[in-house]
Each structure stands twice: as structure tokens, then as C-alpha cells.
Amino acid sequence: MTENLLTITGLSAVSDREGGMPVLRDVGLTLKNGGVRGLVGESGAGKSTIAKAILGILPRTVRVTGGWINFKGRDLLSMKPPELRSIMGSEIALIPQDPQTALNPARRIGAQLADGLKLKRGMSARTAEAYALQLLADVQIRDPDRVMKSFPHQLSGGMRQRVLIAAAFAVEPELVIADEPTTALDVTVQKEILRLIRHMQEARGTGVLFVTHDLGIVAQICDSVTLLYAGKVIEEGPVRNVLENPKHAYTKALIAAGPRYDRPDAGLEPVPEAVFRELRQEIGIS
């Protein structure tokens, strides 16, 4: 029997900042042990809200009004803060969007990696340092000794993202949430980073929830996908099925619009207004 690592059921939430407007509408999704699921949608679709709900970092202005987030048989939404803190950063880790701001500018890379290992895996300073060096080699950093001693500003964006990938996998999590981890990078580096995440998760059997705007990225790295619009799941399934045989008119239009459908300057077919009209009618929004 393949157990799901993560099962979200009937997750609903409203935004108090937007007058109580629903931001998640009865969302369900599953992630298999060792699977990679893409969470796709345009800006405002609710991707980050789902990621934050899993990580227990929803802003006060977003209220969950129903549902469950079952991680390894336990509901994260009903856990007490100390229990959540013990899971976050150890069983569940985050690869953040912006490598620029996610690292402490005043501390050397080696020290930052070692901090996590000492705190979350109880390693001694010496062991943590040796392990950090190994991790940098694992994320294919060629001169790990130099990088250990570097400050973040001395590294390129791609290198900083490799360091953050190392930090996320360092704690040997079962679930990694990757929040648009390649948005800030150019296309060639983006490809390398995607390959690296795939390599790290495959080697360790880690489940990954991959938040992105980009169906092209989904095709490269994910094995299943959930497409959201206005907080509602529009289509989901194995990537191949969804991309090669989309059922919903919105999914078809997105595929026709090209990999970066959210960028009108990408030059391909924009999603026709009629598709949005039907979609909004279906969801019951004006």
C-alpha cells in the first residue's frame, strides 16, 4: 500500500484583508511518499496560502474556515505550536523563493548550515561542519571549502539557491515545500537548479510540493499536478495526463498559452476572456 505523505481535504480559507473573500475553496490534494506535486496557478490563485497553511505560517488576516492537512497521519491544523515547531524545519522544510533575502547576510555560509544541523539534528559543532561541507558537495558546489567561508553576497544567485537547497535537505525532511525556487534565476541556471532538486529528492525519497506559475517547470520536475484558480482546484492528476489530455477548458487554454502563461510578453496565445468568464461562473464568483 502506498501511503500518502500529505493529504489535504476540504481546505477552505477567507481573507479578512479582502472583506472575508474566500481564498481557498474546498481544496483537496495528495502527495505520495517521494512524489513531486506541482501546485500551479496564476498570481492570487492561493498557492502560497496552501504552502503557508502547511508550514503553519498563515498571516493573521487569513482564516482557515474548514478542512484538514494530514501529514503522516496527523492533522497539522489542530496541532499545538510546540508540536508544530518540532516538525517544521525537521520533518518539513522549505526552499524559499528568494535566495537573496533568505540567508543571513552577516553570517558565513558554513555557520548558517551548521546552525540548522546543531539545532534540528543535535550534531556537535565539528560534526555539523563536516556534514555541511559534504552537503555543499552534494548540491554540486565545486569548491565547498571556499563557499563554507563565504558570506552570501560573495555568491551568485544560483549558488545561493544551491546553499538553500542544501539547507532544506540537511535536516533530512520527508516533505520539502519549494516555493517558486527558480523565479529569481535566469533560464540556464533555472534548469540546473530543477535538475538538482530532482536529484536530491530522488536520492533521498523526499516528497516535494513545488509551487510555481510555470507549466514548463511542472513538465520538467513534477510527477503530478494540481491547478488552482481563485482558490479552487480546477484540474489535477499525473502530469502526463494533465498536460497531454487536459479536461478543463482553462487547462487547455493555459497549455496553449505556453510555459509562462502568466507573462503576456511571452508572445503565445493569451487565455481567452470567455474561458475566464466560464471559470468564474463555474466557481460562482462575479
Chain residues in the site for ligand ATP (CB under 6 A): 15, 17-18, 23, 41, 43-49, 59, 61-62
- Number of helices (H), then strands (E), in the chain: 12, 10
Task: Name which of 49 and 161 has its Cβ closer to ligand ATP.
Answer: 49
User: 175 and 140 in contact (C-beta within 8 Å)?
Assistant: no
Task: Name which of 97 and 112 has its Cβ closer to ligand ATP.
Answer: 97
**How many angstroms separate the Cα of 70 from the Cα of each of 7, 35, 222?**
5, 16, 21
Least distance CB 23 / ligand ATP (angstroms): 4
The secondary element (H helix, E strand) that includes residue 210 is: strand 207-212
**Residue 237: strand pairing partners:** 225
CA 65 to chain centre: 23
| Spatial separation of the C-alpha atoms in residues 9 and 67, rounded to whole Å | 6
Least distance CB 252 / ligand ATP (angstroms): 20
Least distance CB 17 / ligand ATP (angstroms): 3
**Residue linked to cell 497521519:** 73
Task: Name which of 129 and 214 has its Cβ closer to ligand ATP.
Answer: 214
**Residue linked to cell 501511503:** 3
The angle formed by the CA atoms of residues 175, 180 and 185, to the nearest 5 degrees, is 125
Least distance CB 218 / ligand ATP (angstroms): 14
Task: Name which of 51 and 136 has its Cβ closer to ligand ATP.
Answer: 51
Task: Name which of 46 and 96 has its Cβ closer to ligand ATP.
Answer: 46
| Spatial separation of the C-alpha atoms in residues 202 and 160, rounded to whole Å | 21
Least distance CB 155 / ligand ATP (angstroms): 25
Least distance CB 211 / ligand ATP (angstroms): 7
Task: Name which of 2 and 43 has its Cβ closer to ligand ATP.
Answer: 43
